[in-house]
Structure 1
Amino acid sequence: MPTKKYFLKKETNLYTIAFYNLENLFDIKDDLNILDDDFLPDSEKQWTKKRYEKKIFKLGTAISNIGFANTGKAPVILGVAEVENKAVLKDLIKTKNLIHKNYGIVHYDSPDERGIDVGLLYQKKYFTVTHSESIVLLVDNEYGERDYTRDILWVTGNLNGEEIHILVNHWPSRRDGAESTSYKRVIAAKKNREIIDQITEKDPAAKIIIMGDFNDDHTNESVKDHLVQQDFYNPMERLHTRYRGTLNYKSQWNLFDQIIFSNNFHKFEKSKHNFSQANIFDESFLKIYKGRYKGNPFRTYAGRKYQGGYSDHFPVYVQLRLN
């Protein structure tokens, strides 16, 4: 569990913007419209009310501590992935460590076959939503049939009075192989650029944050060649090493979870936000503490075996300074 340092109150002008893949945050009810059979009380995984409540409590604890050490507050904006519906997010923000933060929710059901969506949580005290919509991501599989995947969530709002656009993503997976599915993530990157063009056509000075689980690293074509162009900065590039990332697969670290922002966050302006720092929230309480997988994310399930942890991903965050 978190150490005492997270409970030292600090009043600063720093604000944390975070992203967290919550690893299959399903409720325990059977939804006949999606493939949620693995996450039911009578499934092989035995996804019971007790396990569900334990998971959302743990996630609430983790979220409340992201960036807290040097801001004295939980994330003011948090993008999330792998949530089944709005109900699980409502349950999450009612947990002990989040209930007093007064989080609002932006969520739309996406066409993903497993029923997992992206969403946005925001502290109403600091952020006001003025616009939101779900942008359909159209990709085909190798047979020319539609591959139903997560939509892109576009949220516009005022952070401490300054307008900011946020795009929350969860790009198509590598399940059928990284190379053979790469084109899908390139399409996702291009769709983000279309939205960016739409925003900047109306307001060339718009401040934009792109976040998500891209299922690609910063070195992959989708991110490097298509998403991050001269007008954007990716602070996650410096965080990814052989020994550090947000998820570990076959003893190799990836940093699929990224937060990228428009270059104007580097500009100092009075009463506006500018970039301070970025990091992976990989504190020891989120890690497996012993054995072969020591140091990896402490996940909820390994295959069908219940582990009782948080998620198979670490959260990432950036901190903005209000001048």
Structure 2
Amino acid sequence: MELFSFYNVENLFLPDPKPVHKLDSTVSGLRNWDDRKYRNKLFKIAHVFQLIKEENGILPFMIGLSEVSGKKVLEDLVQMQPFSAEYGIVHYNSMDERKVDVALLYNKKKIEVMDSEAITFFFEITNKNQGNYDTTRDVLYSKVKYRGQFVHVFIAHLPSKREKDINKPKRDFIMNEIRTRILNIVNEDKENIILCGDFNENPDDENLKNILYNDAQEKVMENPFVPLFSAGNYSTFHYKSGLLFDQIILSKSLFSEDNMLIFRNAEIFRPGQIRSRDRKQEGRPFRTYAGTRYLGGYSDHFPVFVRFEINK
């Protein structure tokens, strides 16, 4: 068995330098983000993967992450148990205004990275007082080799829903670009594709439905998180609404019994340890901050993963 996981880790920043004045803005945007809180955050994220290992007997061979700021936080993370310096990192600094990126961690004994690229997006701004263009988080593309087979991995963290969803055109544009690239791979190589991320949309939203089909309306991808969402399973919450923004979408090849990796099932990982201690927030993720109040938790998202059987 192999696992592929995605986790929005909620604001993994290095500790902030001490501000000169009390009201000075910080790099992280967090309140009193010091070394103690940073070390606790690293421990909590590593602990999530220790729990995944205890449940499944293995760690994921690849892990997509979002809301990480810079490579140093990833280097610190993979030194910890259960990673034990056995995981490599694919990461690029994006032009995101908050300096948060996506990244890929991979088991160096199982995965060989053949190629990688940060897919960057620029959006024109009509208000010239704000500059000429707006940027957002990159989409990370990696081509890896596993047991002689190529796997194309896309990791995305799309612009959020806010202010009457003014970011929807950006999400539409980014998802269309990802879809074009996926169809090029499907048409030319017919190799395995994994698209994962925090899409800021649910599985039944139009972008997530469109990504599954080519122009002839033939299905080229499968989203195993559709039935989980339909059954009322969620990875994050906004006020009273349960959301399944965190998803892993797979090419049809990964459902073939002839393939090296064969999809078996999908899961939202939510053991009791990483759920909120607050009765009013029962069943929700135990997050690091609630507004400016430090809670000391894990993240405001649950991780998700898919299980593969290995065709020997």
> Fold match, TM over 0.5?
yes
- Pair 1:297–1:318, CA change in 2 (3 A): same
Partner of 2:160: 173
The one-letter code matched in structure 1 to 2:281 is: Y
Within 5 Å, which residues of 2 pair with 1:288-307?
288-307=276-295
Distance 1:155 1:136 in 2: 14
The answer on 1:212 being equivalent to 2:197 is yes
Partner of 1:234: 223
Of the candidates 55, 59, 72, which is equivalent to residue 69 of structure 1? 55
Distance apart, 1:302 and its partner CA = 0.5
Partner of 1:275: 263
Partner of 1:110: 94
The one-letter code matched in structure 2 to 1:153 is: L
Q: Note the alpha carbon deviations across 1:61-109, whole angstroms, 9 max, x for none.
A: 1023336423x11111000000000000001111233225x00000000
The one-letter code matched in structure 2 to 1:133 is: E
Distance 2:6 2:124 in 1: 27
Distance 1:143 1:80 in 2: 33
Q: Percent identity?
A: 35
- Pair 1:75–1:143, CA change in 2 (3 A): same
Q: Note the alpha carbon deviations across 1:181-210, whole angstroms, 9 max, x for none.
A: 22211111101012213323431x111000
The answer on 1:318 being equivalent to 2:306 is yes
Q: How many residues align?
A: 297
Of the candidates 237, 249, 262, which is equivalent to residue 260 of structure 1? 249
The one-letter code matched in structure 2 to 1:209 is: I
Distance 2:42 2:169 in 1: 34
In the alignment, structure 1 segments of 5+ residues that lack a partner are: 1-13, 31-35
Q: Secondary structure at the match of 1:192?
A: helix
- Pair 1:52–1:44, CA change in 2 (3 A): closer
Of the candidates 106, 111, 114, which is equivalent to residue 127 of structure 1? 111
Distance 2:186 2:221 in 1: 13
The one-letter code matched in structure 2 to 1:81 is: S
The one-letter code matched in structure 2 to 1:91 is: D
Decide which moves more: 90-99 or 299-308.
Answer: 90-99
The answer on 1:193 being equivalent to 2:179 is yes
Distance 1:243 1:37 in 2: 39
Q: Note the alpha carbon deviations across 1:247-300, whole angstroms, 9 max, x for none.
A: 011121100011001111111116x11111111011111101342111110000
In the alignment, structure 2 segments of 5+ residues that lack a partner are: 18-23, 214-218
- Pair 1:103–1:44, CA change in 2 (3 A): closer
Partner of 1:202: 188
Distance 1:128 1:68 in 2: 25
